[in-house]
Amino acid sequence: MATTYKDAGLDLETYAESMSRLPRLMRRTFSPRVLELEDGFAGLFQLDFSNRLFRRGYQEPVLIACTDGVGTKLKVAQAMGVHNTIGVDLVAMCVNDALCCGAEPLFFLDYVAMARDDPAVLEQIVAGVSDGCLQADCALLGGETAIMPDVYRPDEYDLAGFCVGVAERRQIIDGKAIAPGDVVLGVASSGLHSNGYSLVRKVVFDKANLKVDHYVEELGQTVGEALLTPTRIYAQPVRRILQSYSGRRVVHGIAHITGGGLKENLARILPPNVGVKLNRHSWPVPPVFPWLQKLGEIADTEMEQVFNCGVGLVLVFNPHFQRTIQEILADAGLESWVIGEAVEGPPEVVWK
């Protein structure tokens, strides 16, 4: 009897159905800069236009690229059977990193690896990626779906994302302009975002023996809902801030607060001879963090090193621009707080 690909765990008809569900999710993110190539082997994106209305007029454009995943937050999505938000996390983790250099996100690619073909689940995953791209104002230009039954357990999948953006060379934000007296502004996170989930899962599911459908009174939602809250995407308000000053580099530094917390991620952008003093009581910590800390008896230092603790992005700039920048963030529905200041000294972040 002849052996087929289906015998090895890959059904080409089901795979074709999966692929047929994706083009509409991509096209809804397209701008006029996307050049459609039907059945092509790659995606095409036009960096600039000759048309005066849309022309960017780059002088020294620099491409900025990022790649990331969402870690073991995937396990929560799989346990809940909810797959339409994890793609937002994927876009956020990549795009928010690109913003730290002052990039305008241009396009995004995704990689989905699954144990078996499941058109409905794949469609939900990519719908989340598409939603994230709309929030980030970037095009979902393409991707890859790999079916590997011998690598993943049944109903498991993994994700990776890739973002490409652009910035004028003279406007790249690298932290070198940070100076003593600069304001350190924290911008609110939406919760845990996509870091620390190995610790979260150990505390919540192994130590406390909670289930995803367990209702948590102090959070006003179930465990699963709290843990699956999508990572916030900061692209639109950050772009508006950067475009508000006629090409001047007003923002001196941007840090995406992921694994390592405020101290480690802020330290990455500090120039020599400039440090940061933070006030840990200068912003309200969302209830998910004290709930988790109490549940797992986690030390303060561990919480601050692993989680964002309510601050998902940090902007560093001259205090002269504080009012305008906070107004732009507020217009986007984002809370922000002055959480510290840049000071003369070694390039380190300390609590005051």
Q: What is the pLDDT of residues 18-54, one digit of tens each?
A: 889 999 999 999 998 999 888 889 999 999 988 777 7
Contact 239, 101 (CB under 8 A): no
**Would you state the pLDDT for residue 246?**
65
Among 150, 171, 192, identify where a domain stops.
171
> Which domain covers residue 202, as residue numbers?
183-351
What CATH code is carried by the domain that includes residue 148? Answer: 3.30.1330.10
User: Considering the domain boundaries, does residue 178 fall inside one?
Assistant: no
Q: What is the pLDDT of residues 183-241, one digit of tens each?
A: 999 999 999 999 999 999 999 999 999 999 999 999 999 999 999 999 999 999 999 99
Q: Model's pTM, two decimal places?
A: 0.96
Same domain? For 221 and 338 the reply is yes
Same domain? For 157 and 203 the reply is no
What CATH code is carried by the domain that includes residue 322? Answer: 3.90.650.10
Is beta strand 104-114 parallel, antiparallel or unpaired with respect to 139-147?
parallel
User: Considering the domain boundaries, does residue 176 fall inside one?
Assistant: no
Same domain? For 199 and 341 the reply is yes
Conformational region of residue 196, where left means phi above 0, alpha means psi within -120 to 50, and beta covers everything else: left
Among 141, 171, 201, identify where a domain stops.
171
Q: What is the pLDDT of residues 79-118, one digit of tens each?
A: 999 999 999 999 999 999 999 999 999 999 999 999 999 9
User: Considering the domain boundaries, does residue 336 fall inside one?
Assistant: yes
Same domain? For 342 and 198 the reply is yes
Same domain? For 223 and 160 the reply is no
Structural domain count of the chain: 2
Among 145, 171, 197, identify where a domain stops.
171
Same domain? For 220 and 146 the reply is no
Q: First CA to last CA across the chain, in angstroms? A: 74
User: Considering the domain boundaries, does residue 237 fall inside one?
Assistant: yes
Same domain? For 268 and 195 the reply is yes
Please, which residues bridge with residue 157 across strands? 114
Same domain? For 165 and 232 the reply is no
Query: What is the rounded distance in angstroms from the CA atom of residue 57 to the CA atom of residue 79?
Result: 48
